[in-house]
Amino acid sequence: MDGRILIIGAGQAGMQIAVTLRDEGFAGEVTIVGDEAYGPYQRPPLSKAYLAGNSDVESLELRAEHFYTDQAIEMVTGETIVDVRLGEPGSSDAGIATAASGRTFEFDRLAITPGSTPRRLPIEGADLGGVLYLRSLADADALKKRWTAAENLVVIGGGFIGLEVAAAARTAGKTVTVIEVADRLMARAVSSTTSEFYHGAHERRGTRVVLEAQLARIVGDAGQVTGVELAGAGAAKGEFIPADIVMVGIGVIARGELADKLGLDNINGAIVVNEYAETSDPRIVAAGDAVLLPHPLGHDGQVRLESVQNAVDQAKVAAKTLIGIREVHRAVPWFWSDQGDLKLQIAGLSTGFDQIVERGSQESEKFSVLYYRDGRLLAIDAVNDPIDYIAVRRALDTGAEIPAELAADSSVALKTLITSREA
Ligand SMILES: Cc1cc2nc3c(=O)[nH]c(=O)nc-3n(C[C@H](O)[C@H](O)[C@H](O)COP(=O)(O)OP(=O)(O)OC[C@H]3O[C@@H](n4cnc5c(N)ncnc54)[C@H](O)[C@@H]3O)c2cc1C
């Protein structure tokens, strides 16, 4: 099969679509267009090793530069696609994508992988110098630029990225305060058991955590941030917290500009796809953070997943769809978050759990939480416990079970408890 495939978005998913197309023997033209100054790179280290100064730009690259020439993949950076016209349905007319610069790209088939963008803080002072977000390498470099001289860091948002940055800042000896509007940390992703452990663990390492906190405004002087002022209820009401850097990590929203332009079904910008990664226009596939997909383990409903695993697995499906291979992949979601010396590994989706089983010991900072619904294994949060994590991931991968009543005994290895669903 030949023809021209255009991929809009040079990130984790876009890159994987191109790689899979070639792996599957697609011999036509493959072009990836991205709006950043760099070719595709890994984002996870931006809030971890890269921020801590333990990795450099080269180590972030998803592929060495020669890969693109070797694989005849055209990689275009620094171009934002602002308009896309499709050919007439059923005709052989080419589609055409136009960049903000006026440059155009013709294609026969289209993939869009625009990723997501940080949710902005709608508050007085949010545009001051030193109020920063973290999505791109450019954002990470802006953060690093202020990092060494900064003494006080305020993190708005107690989710994964905020807590990873907080941990890196504490390790670097800074005074760190995490401000969270909810009543617990990482509330969207983990149970209160895991949240409470992380709350205590961050405080033991010297980070102050303020829950149920409302921000009144961000305060500055001469255009630069000097701190934040709290409002609302609670002991910290009205308090001023000094800050040289205010790092905002309050979640991301799908980049929906192109979905809107193309009239694709979307919910708040998140492009609705089926299990083949097809959008509401069967000529277009989409993958990654910007996508709302059917539950990957076949449960009811749709989910939007913000993870490398999802971007990669979904991209593989999307690439195959583009070249006529109808293949659904049953992908167990997994995710990790390194917060200083605490490694959190999550497999499965815990939404809707009605029972949890805890193993190991929170005191030794090595434990895991298994989630069940109607006695069926759903997911695990493993803290510094890769062995339990791997066992649960394997069980979920193979559609097997780990009986809840047996799992509570930490002296028994989980892998010995894996049983098939029928057993
Ligand atoms: C700081 C940080 C830490 C993370 N840590 C983890 C982690 O520990 N584990 C984990 O699993 N995941 C982590 N993630 C999430 C993970 O990086 C994302 O889920 C993944 O990158 C999603 O891939 P994607 O291809 O959908 O989007 P992206 O990788 O964001 O790629 C999308 C690209 O498309 C570009 N683009 C958008 N619109 C256009 C347009 N119109 N024209 C041209 N280009 C466009 C964007 O600029 C971007 O370069 C982290 C993310 C961040 C930011």
The per-residue pLDDT for range 126-184, each reduced to its tens digit, is: 999 999 999 999 999 999 999 999 999 999 999 999 999 999 999 999 999 999 999 99
| CB 11 near ligand 1, within 6 Å | yes
Both tokens assigned to 236: 């910290």
pLDDT value at position 422?
Answer: 54
Q: Which of 15-19, 49-53, 233-237, 266-270 has the lowest mean pLDDT?
A: 233-237
Q: How confident is the model at residue 11 (pLDDT cuts 50, 70, 90)?
A: very high
Q: What is the mean predicted confidence (pLDDT) over 274-282?
A: 95
Q: How far is CA 269 from the centre of its chain?
A: 16
Ligand 1 centroid, distance to 175 Cα (angstroms)? 29
Both tokens assigned to 42: 């890994």
266, exposed or middle or buried, with CB in 10 Å at 0-12, 13-18, 19+?
A: buried
Answer yes or no: are the C-beta atoms of 393 and 351 closer than 8 Å.
Answer: no
**41-91: pLDDT as tens digits:** 999 999 999 999 889 999 999 999 899 999 999 999 999 999 999 987 767
pTM, two decimals, is 0.96
- For tokens 């949710």, what's the residue? 119
Q: Which atom of ligand 1 is nearest to the CA of 337?
A: 8
| CB 13 near ligand 1, within 6 Å | yes
pLDDT value at position 184?
Answer: 97
326: pLDDT strictly greater than 60? yes
- Fill in the DSSP letter of residue 44: G
Q: What is the mean predicted confidence (pLDDT) over 111-123?
A: 97
Q: What is the mean predicted confidence (pLDDT) over 221-232?
A: 94
8: pLDDT strictly greater than 70? yes
Mean model confidence pLDDT for the chain: 94
DSSP secondary structure string for all residues of 178-243: EE-SSSSTTTTTS-HHHHHHHHHHHHHTT-EEE-S-EEEEEEEETTEEEEEEEESSSTTTT-EEE-
| CB 161 near ligand 1, within 6 Å | yes
| CB 304 near ligand 1, within 6 Å | no
Q: Please tell me the residue having the least CA distance from ligand 1 atom 21.
A: 12
Q: How confident is the model at residue 419 (pLDDT cuts 50, 70, 90)?
A: confident
| Percentage above 90 pLDDT, the chain | 90
Residue with the larger pLDDT of the pair 412 and 421: 412
Task: Classify each residue of 171-182 as buried b or exposed e, where b means 16 or more C-beta atoms within 10 Å of its C-beta.
Answer: beebbbbbbbbe
Q: What is the mean predicted confidence (pLDDT) over 357-384?
A: 97
- The preferred substitution site among 308, 316, 332 for testing ligand 1, maximizing ligand atoms within 8 Å of CB, is 308
268, exposed or middle or buried, with CB in 10 Å at 0-12, 13-18, 19+?
A: exposed
421: pLDDT strictly greater than 70? no
pLDDT value at position 285?
Answer: 97
| CB 191 near ligand 1, within 6 Å | no
Q: How confident is the model at residue 331 (pLDDT cuts 50, 70, 90)?
A: confident
pLDDT value at position 423?
Answer: 47
Q: What is the mean predicted confidence (pLDDT) over 298-312?
A: 93
- The preferred substitution site among 8, 12, 51 for testing ligand 1, maximizing ligand atoms within 8 Å of CB, is 12
Angle between helices 192-204 and 160-171 (to 10 degrees): 20
| CB 36 near ligand 1, within 6 Å | yes
Ligand 1 centroid, distance to 316 Cα (angstroms)? 16
pLDDT value at position 121?
Answer: 96
Q: Which atom of ligand 1 is nearest to the CA of 291?
A: 26
Distance, CA of 16 to CA of 30 (rounded, Å): 12
Q: What is the mean predicted confidence (pLDDT) over 351-359?
A: 95
| CB 308 near ligand 1, within 6 Å | yes
